[in-house]
Amino acid sequence: MATLLAEVALRLADLYPNLSSEEISDVIISSIESEPMLREIFETMALPTKWERAFAELKAKRARHQKATEIKQKIELISFYERLKHMMPPTESSYSKPTITCDGEVVQETPLPQPNNANLMIQRRVAVRPYIELRLPKSVESGSWLKFISAPALVTIKGPLTSSSKILEEVGKVVKSGQILSFDDIEKIDRLLSFTDDESVLSEVLSVLDMDLKLRSKKFHVDCIQELYRGENLLPEDIQTPRPKQGCIKDMIYEKIRAIVLHEYSRLHELTALEFIDGKITYDEYVNKTRECAIIASRIYPR
């Protein structure tokens, strides 16, 4: 459920870059209120059959480019919305399935909820909250993007939701400025990877990671990939680090992420250890700090 909500949120963010994270959060939490955009979505939902969907797509092809993109986006949204609607917890008022008449009019027996229906909105928020709070998918533990979405939806909004291009731009900037990627940057990349299979995006990710590895090798005189597999032959096969399948770009990306996370963890551990050895921090502080570091590294380390 939570993954789906997050998926919808991200998709919304991608399709409607002008939407703030707050607006997107509202979309998720209140599921469907009468904001104009959601009305549009709901209206487009009135295409219940395959034939009608195909017709809409055809209409989109014929329409001017900008309009076509808009319609396509709506169609894409609908499929997400439909899935979401079926998985939403029941509320006092559920909507009837809209139908479309021959002359193209949308007929819906149960009216859309009114924006001023505050009670209903609260009920929905209460109903959705446990799904987000208690059923966090594994992607959250592995540092995936979901936590960035669920957090603003429930707590405070720190910043706008980042789309794939923004993520790439951000992490690209880091390495281009001569800095190495942090755990946060890797988390962002991980977030990006979980919702894209676009080869152009993936190859760009790969080049960012390559740049980071080159920087590390220059700065710290270490071959992180070699370091990743060091001593693996001395371990039982079932706990050895997996090697990437040839030609699989995602595997190659994961290999590089593993190497970076491992190096970053080692580097941070060594820095903390030096602080302890120099007497700047106590042994307990050293153990606690390095433990935290290991937990984060382990969370974002691709399995």
Partner 1 sequence: MPVGFIQGRFNYSLDVFDEPVKKALEKQIEDLGYNPRELLPVMEVAIEEAKKIVDKEKIPLSTRILRAEIEKHAYTYIHGVLKQSKKWKLARECIRSYCSVFLVGAGISFESGVPLTKCLEDLLKFCGAKDYDDLRIDEKKCYNFKSEFRKICDRKDVGASHKLIVKNFPKFILEIICLNWDNLIERAAKELGKSINKVNEDVAVRDERHLWKFHGDIENIKRSNIKGKGGWIFPNEGGYVFNCFLDYIKRTELENSMFTFIIVGYSEGEEKIYDNIISHFEKKIPRPTFRIGLNLKRLGEEKYIVGPADFILKQVLPIE
Q: How far is CA 92 from the centre of its chain?
A: 31
Establish if 253 lies at the interface with partner 1 (CB under 8 A).
no
Beta-ladder partners of 106:
100
How far apart CA 59 and CA 287 sit, in angstroms, is 63
- Quote the CA–CA distance of 117 and 123 in Å, as a whole number: 10
Q: Is 270 in the site for partner 1 (CB under 8 A)?
A: yes
Q: Are the CB atoms for 92 and 117 separated by under 8 Å?
A: no
Which one among 62, 234, 237, 247 touches partner 1, defined by CB under 8 A?
234
**Residue 228 in the binding site for partner 1 (CB under 8 A):** yes
> For residues 6 and 12, what is the distance between their CA atoms, to the nearest angstrom?
10
Locate tokens 């880091």: which residue? 174
Applying CB under 8 A, the span of 24-32, 132-140, 192-200, 283-291 interacting with partner 1 comes to 283-291
25, 139, 286, 289: which one binds partner 1 (CB under 8 A): 286
Question: Which is nearest to 97 in space by CA: 83, 84, 107?
Answer: 107
Q: Using CA atoms, how far apart are residues 299 and 303, in angstroms rounded to an integer?
A: 9
For residue 287, state whether it binds partner 1 (rule: CB under 8 A).
yes
301 is a site residue for partner 1 (CB under 8 A): yes
Residue closer to partner 1, measured from CB, 90 or 279: 279
Q: Which of 236, 237, 246, 247 binds partner 1 (CB under 8 A)?
A: 236
Q: Is 193 in the site for partner 1 (CB under 8 A)?
A: no
Q: Look up residue 3 and give its two tokens.
A: 């993954």
> In the bound complex, what is the minimum distance in angstroms from residue 302's beta carbon to partner 1?
9
Residues that bind partner 1 (CB under 8 A): 228, 230-232, 234-236, 239, 241, 258, 261-262, 265-266, 269-270, 273, 276-277, 279, 282-284, 286-287, 290-291, 294-295, 297-298, 301, 303
